[in-house]
Amino acid sequence: MKTLVMKFGGASVASPEHFSRIADIIVSRRKEYERVTIVVSAMGNTTDQLINLAKQVNPNPPRREYDMLLSAGERISIALLAMALAKKEQEAVSFTGSQSGIITCAHHAEARIIDVKPYRILAALDSGKVAIVAGFQGVSENKEITTLGRGGSDTTAVALGVALRAEKVEFFKDVPGIFNADPKCDPAAKLLTNLSYSEALAIIKQSLHVRSFVGPVNSCVETIICAQERSLSPILHYE
C-alpha cells in the first residue's frame, strides 16, 4: 500500500488555527496515500521556553530530567493534531516516541536512533487511521526517555520513512524555498533555484537535522521539502 510520511515543524503548529490548516493538508494527502504518518514538532517556541524554564530551576539540569521535560512539547502537539483531524472526521491516533518504537542510544539530549520498531504505528495504519508521531524523541534500550537534539524531528521523519518503507517523506516549511542563509535572521538571504547534493547538505547543516538528509541518501527514500503556504509545492526534491 502507498505510504507517506509528512513532517510539520514548530512554525506549522504554532497556534490552534495552524492545526486546522495542516489537518486540511493531511486529509487531502490521505486521498492519494492509503497509509499516512505524521511527525510533528513542539508548538512554536515551546522547546525554547522549556529550556529556559529548566535553566531557571537549575542552570545545569540532570540530562535525564532535561529530556523528560523537553519531550513534553511534542506530546502536546500530537494530541492537538489528532483532535483537529477528528473534527474533520479523519480518524487518527497519537504516539510518543517510545510508543512509536523509536529506539535510541542512552546519550541524553543528543541521542542517536539505533532501531525503529513501529508495531503500533503499523497497527494504526492497517486499521485506516492516520498515525501521528512525536518527533525529536525516543526511548533507550534501558527504557529511558531520550531526545535527539535540536531539529531531531527531521531525523524521526526519515527514520520512520525507512522503517515504514514509505514512497515519500515530505517536510513542510514556512518559507517559499531554500535560501543560502536563514531568511528569518538574514534579510539579504537569497532564494536558490538549483542545488547539488553537497551544496544542499552544507545549507541543511544550518537548519535541518543533518542526519535527516544523509539518511535518505543511504536508504533510497524519496525526500521532498515543501513550502507550506503553497501546500504541496516542492521546493527541494531529493530522490
Q: List pLDDT tens digits, range 47-100.
A: 999 999 999 999 999 999 999 999 999 999 999 999 999 999 999 999 999 999
Give the mean pLDDT of 228-236. 48
pLDDT, residue 146, reads: 98
- Can you tell me whether residue 225 is helix, strand or coil? strand
Cα angle 186, 188, 194; round to 5: 105
C-alpha 195/C-alpha 117 separation (Å) is 34
Residue 236: pLDDT band (50, 70, 90) is very low
Burial category of 185 from C-beta neighbours within 10 Å (exposed 0-12, middle 13-18, buried 19 and up): exposed
pTM over 0.75: yes
